[in-house]
Structure formats: C-alpha cells, structure tokens
Amino acid sequence: MLALEGIKVLDFCRNAPGMFCTMVLGDLGAEVLMVERPMDSQRAAYERVASGVTNEEEERRHAAYNALQRNKRSLALNLKEGEAREIFYKLVETADVVVEGFRPGVMDRLGAGEKKVREINPRVVYCSISGYGQDGPYSQMVGHDINYISFAGALGLIGRSEEEPPAIPLNLLADYAGGGLCGAVAILAALMAREKTGRGQYLDIAMTDGVIYMMASLVSAYYEHGVAPRRAGHRLNGGAAYYGVYETSDGKYLTIAAIEPWFWENLCRALGREDLAGSQAEAESSGEISKILAEAFRKRTRDQWFELLKDNNISVGKVYSLEEALSDPQVAHRGMVVEVEAPDLPEGSVRQVGIPIRLSETPGRVRHVGSVTGHHTSDVLAGLGYQPEQIQDLRRRQVVQ
C-alpha cells in the first residue's frame, strides 16, 4: 500500500515548481495525470532546444530519465476546443486534486479555472503555484527563481562580501522549496481537512511567499532586534570563521560548522591550535582567525582533512561535485539513487534520484518512468467511455494528441 493510493491528481504544470510538487504526490502513491498541450511544431522546437533532444527517440529517452515526469501518465488536450474541455470536465468528476502553474487568469481563460472545477466537483483541492501569488501589484509579472529570491530578500544575503555582487544559487529555493514543496504540503493538509469537512479548497501558493517563510528565523531576529542581516555579515552566511568554506591543498574545498563551543574546541585541537580555543567570540567577525584557519587547511587535501576530522566530534563536510555526491556511501546507504525499469529503452533501466520521505508503513515508490506527451491519451479516453473511432476522430481534428 502507498500513502496516497487512490488519490487522483490532474497536473497542468509545465515548469519545475509544479512538476516537482506533483512528483512528490506521485512518489507517495497518487495517480497523476499530466494534462498537456498537444505538441505542435512550435512547442516541439522549444522543448527540443530546452532539453537538448533532436529526435523522437531522444525525446523518449529524456522523458524516461526525467524524474519530474515519473509516476505520471500523459494526456494531450487542446483546451481551446470545446470537446477537449468536456473531456477535462469528465476527468474532474472523479479527481481529488488539480495543480496548475500558470500566471493568474490563464486557467480561467481556458475554461479550467478553480470556480468551474469546483462547480463540477466541490471536493477537488485546487492548487495554483505562481511567482507572486494570485493577487497584489506583482501578480501578473513574469518571473523565475532568481527574481523571486531577490524580492524575498534571500539573494541579497548570499555571497562572500558586500563589495561583490550576490552569488546566484541554483533554482532550488523558490522553484523547488518555496513552490514545489510548499505546494505539496498545502495539498496534503487540504486533503486532511477534506476528511473533516467533505469539501475541497483553493490553494494559492506564491514562490516569493515560500522563500520569505523559509527565512522565518531571520525575520524574527530582525523584528526582535531591529537590525537586518547583511551579506557575509551573519554567522551563517560567511560572517564567522567557524562556519565557512576552506580550500585544501588539492584545490578542493571543505565545509566547517563549529558553531557550538565544544565543536570549536575540538576543531582547534585537531588543527594543533589549542591557543584559539577561547577565541570563538572573536571568530564571529571572521578576519584574522579566518586567515589562520585558511592557512591551516591548505596543508592537507580535502579527503585527508575529512578522515582526520570526521570521527572527532567536529562538523565537517566535503564540497562535492554532483558526480561525487551521487557516489557517496551515505547517499547509497539511504537509497537516494534508485534503478527504475525503462522497458522502452535499450538499456532497460535508468537511474534516478530516490525518495527522501521515508514512511515506515507506506513507503513511497518509483513505479514507472515518464513518457512523452500524449502517450496515454487513448487509454484515458477509453477509460472515459470513448470508442476507438471517436478517439481517432478527435486526434484527426487535433482536439487531442
């Protein structure tokens, strides 16, 4: 048994935030159906440039390796056509969740907005994931992760010094956490509430809001003390010598997080600098002590330092490339790389990221790889009662693909 077994999700998402949200639901057992636009020549050209694929075989391979598409089926509907909307409305009748990631108003114009959906099925949980939310002065602005984290105040805190521009992180904060994870949590909460009320509800998830939410501790400290953190000025963003990144003799890097006094004492002892053990308060301002630590760490390689420090009650980590991270024994032990059957590919299987949400009674599972646009259209329509000749006619008239 899977935790979300029996929950039906209609997925209108085209980008990472919503696709990650529904990936989480699918990994936990939900039946996710991607409702996609038919792949016309313009969209096909864009998708192939974005993904780097050049033909149908590579497209199938890309879909199979793409974890964001796993545990999902694909239906291609042209919602600009009335008959396509009728197909969607039939799906809504038995759906539990609808997730969309368009700008506010787009789904309404397609006849698939929250009000219309809840007219058909009041039990549906309808989740909209957008950059700035469904209302407010920025709601209609286009954007991407870097824009959302800049407005949220997070980007301005990331970097080595205030004299240098902020460092641009990957699109993990807003897209995957502020949007995808917050969306998944909201959906699960709404499904729980539905058990008590019998009704679904509307979920307005803004990625910018989500990033601010994750900065709860910093916001609290600001309102308590009236002093805003600055780039490389907080002990956890480069302002303290005991919490930082240090280069080693082989040109690689090590992370040190000796926040607690006993960890700091252990570190000083391991470095042969017991004289620094009482100077943690001075290390708050980095400066001279950072230089001492930097000089010390350049005397050994990254892996030598790790072996020396890891068993001495010291918070230490190796700065990995992605290749190294995926080969690490801890990652392997935790099952964070999984082998998934891919019968349509010559190799027969693909490797994907594992599932970090570990449930003892109803663990998640990667049941199947992703598929190309419209792969399950005929199956879905047949399940709704359409006959083969009707399906062929709908394809011919480009209502579906």
Active site residue 144: yes
pLDDT tens-digit readout, 215-253:
999 999 999 999 999 999 888 998 899 999 999 999 999
Q: Show the domain range for 107.
A: 8-213+334-396
Secondary structure string (H, E, C) spanning 275-338: HHCCCHHHHCCCCHHHHHHHHHHCCCCHHHHHHHHCCCCCCEEECCCHHHHHHCHHHHHCCCEE
Burial pattern 175-208, b for ≥16 Cβ within 10 A else e, equals: bbbbbbbbbbebbbebbeebeeeeebbbbbbbbb
Are 204 and 311 in a shared domain?
no
Q: What would the mean pLDDT of 382-397 be, rounded to a whole number?
A: 96
Q: Does residue 352 lie in a domain region?
A: yes
Give yes or no for residue 322 having a pLDDT over 90: yes
Structure tokens at 399: 């209502």
CA 15 to chain centre: 10
**Are 293 and 271 in contact, with CB atoms under 8 Å apart?**
yes
CATH at 344: 3.40.50.10540
The owner of tokens 């594992």 is: 354
Q: Does residue 223 lie in a domain region?
A: no
Identified catalytic residue from 27, 145, 175, 209: 175
Average pLDDT, the chain: 95
With bands split at pLDDT 50, 70 and 90, how would you rate the model's confidence at 284? confident
CATH at 306: 3.30.1540
The more confidently predicted of residues 359 and 57 is: 359
With bands split at pLDDT 50, 70 and 90, how would you rate the model's confidence at 52? confident
Are 103 and 178 in a shared domain?
yes
How far is the C-alpha of 109 from the C-alpha of 31, rounded, in Å?
26
Give yes or no for residue 49 having a pLDDT over 70: no
Give yes or no for residue 42 having a pLDDT over 70: no
Are 297 and 391 in a shared domain?
no
Q: Does residue 237 lie in a domain region?
A: no
Identified catalytic residue from 62, 144, 234, 376: 144
How many domains are contained in the chain? 2
Give yes or no for residue 48 having a pLDDT over 70: no
How far is the C-alpha of 254 from the C-alpha of 250, rounded, in Å?
11
What is the CB neighbour count within 10 angstroms for residue 12? 23
Are 351 and 390 in a shared domain?
yes
With bands split at pLDDT 50, 70 and 90, how would you rate the model's confidence at 279? confident
Are 284 and 152 in a shared domain?
no
Indicate yes or no: pTM above 0.85. yes
Domain boundary among 294, 318, 342: 318
